[in-house]
C-alpha cells in the first residue's frame, strides 16, 4: 500500500498530513518493522522522523548502572523523533523498539523540518503533543519519586487490570517480572518481595510464579491506593 492509500484511508492521518507539501509527500516511504527490532538508537545521528501508523513502540533509556527503563509506549497515530528535530538536536535522546509488528512512515529529518516550518497546523499539533507528554512525564515522575516499591506495583497492577480485564473473573498479569521491573523502574528483587506481600495480604494470588487478580482483589487494591492518597 502506498503513502496516498494510507492518507485517504485513515481520516486521522489525512487530517494530520493534509498540509504537507507535495514535493515532500512524494519522498515519504513506508517501512514495515518486525517485533523486537530497534527503530532508532540513543546517541545515533538523527536522520529520519517517523509516523507510527500500525503496531506499538516502546521508548527506553539505559542508565549508567546498566538498568534499562521503559518510560513510554507509543501507539498509532504518533510522531517519533519529532522532539529532536524540533529542538535542532543532532542525536536521538532515547532508544525506540518495536513491541509487535509495526508500520511507520519515514521522512528525512531535513524534509520534516521543512514541513513543520511551512505547515503551521501540524507545528501546533506537534507542540500540543509534546506539551501533553511533558505534563504527563512530570506528573508521573513527581509521583513516582515518592512511591514505595509496593505502591508502584499496586498502581501497575491496577492499570494493567483496567486495560485488559474485559469480562473475565480472574485476570493473569501476562508479563514477566523482569518486564514489570523495567516498566516501573525497580529491581526484580523488589518486584518479588512486593508480589509476596500482596499475595499474603490476599490482594493478588500467585500460581506457578504467575500473578493473578480477581475482580474483588482489584476493588480492594483500589481502596488501598485511595487510602494511601
Domain spans of the chain, in order of start: 3-118, 142-227
Summary mean pLDDT of the chain: 83
SS3 state at 137: helix
Residue 194 cell numbers, joined: 512486593
pLDDT digits (tens, 9 = 90+) for 99-115: 999 999 999 999 999 99
* pLDDT for residue 55: 96
pLDDT digits (tens, 9 = 90+) for 16-39: 888 999 999 999 999 999 999 999
SS3 state at 98: strand
pLDDT digits (tens, 9 = 90+) for 35-81: 999 999 989 999 999 999 999 999 887 665 565 666 678 999 899 99
Write down the CATH number for the domain with range 3-118.
2.60.120.10
Phi-psi region of 184 (alpha: psi -120 to 50; beta: other; left: phi over 0): alpha
Q: Residue 2: is its pLDDT beyond 60?
A: no
Give CA–CA dist 184/173, Å, rounded.
15
SS3 state at 123: helix
Residue 33's Cβ-side half-sphere holds a number of Cα atoms within 13 Å equal to: 26
Give CA–CA dist 55/30, Å, rounded.
14
* CATH architecture assigned to 142-227: Orthogonal Bundle (1.10)
Amino acid at each position: 500500500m502506498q503513502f496516498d492509500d494510507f492518507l485517504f484511508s485513515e481520516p486521522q492521518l489525512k487530517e494530520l498530513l493534509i498540509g504537507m507539501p507535495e514535493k515532500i509527500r512524494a519522498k515519504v516511504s513506508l517501512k514495515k518493522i518486525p517485533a523486537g527490532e530497534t527503530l532508532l538508537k540513543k546517541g545515533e545521528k538523527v536522520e529520519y522522523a517517523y509516523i507510527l501508523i500500525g503496531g506499538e513502540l516502546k521508548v527506553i533509556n539505559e542508565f549508567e548502572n546498566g538498568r534499562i527503563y521503559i518510560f513510554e509506549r507509543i501507539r498509532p497515530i504518533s510522531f517519533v523523533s519529532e522532539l529532536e528535530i524540533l529542538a535542532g538536536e543532532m542525536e536521538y535522546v532515547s532508544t525506540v523498539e518495536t513491541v509487535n509488528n509495526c508500520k511507520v512512515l519515514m521522512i528525512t529529518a531535513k524534509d520534516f523540518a521543512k514541513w513543520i516550518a511551512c505547515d503551521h497546523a501540524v507545528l501546533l499539533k506537534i507542540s500540543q503533543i509534546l506539551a501533553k507528554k511533558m505534563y504527563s512525564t512530570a506528573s508521573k515522575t513527581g509521583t513516582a519519586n515518592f512511591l514505595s516499591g509496593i505502591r508502584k506495583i499496586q498502581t501497575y497492577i491496577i492499570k494493567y487490570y483496567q486495560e485488559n480485564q474485559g469480562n473475565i473473573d480472574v485476570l493473569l498479569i501476562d508479563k514477566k517480572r523482569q518486564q514489570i521491573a523495567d516498566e516501573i523502574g525497580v529491581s526484580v528483587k523488589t518486584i518479588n518481595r512486593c508480589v509476596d506481600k500482596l499475595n499474603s495480604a490476599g490482594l493478588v494470588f500467585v500460581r506457578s510464579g504467575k500473578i493473578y487478580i480477581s475482580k474483588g482483589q482489584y476493588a480492594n487494591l483500589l481502596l488501598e491506593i485511595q487510602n494511601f492518597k
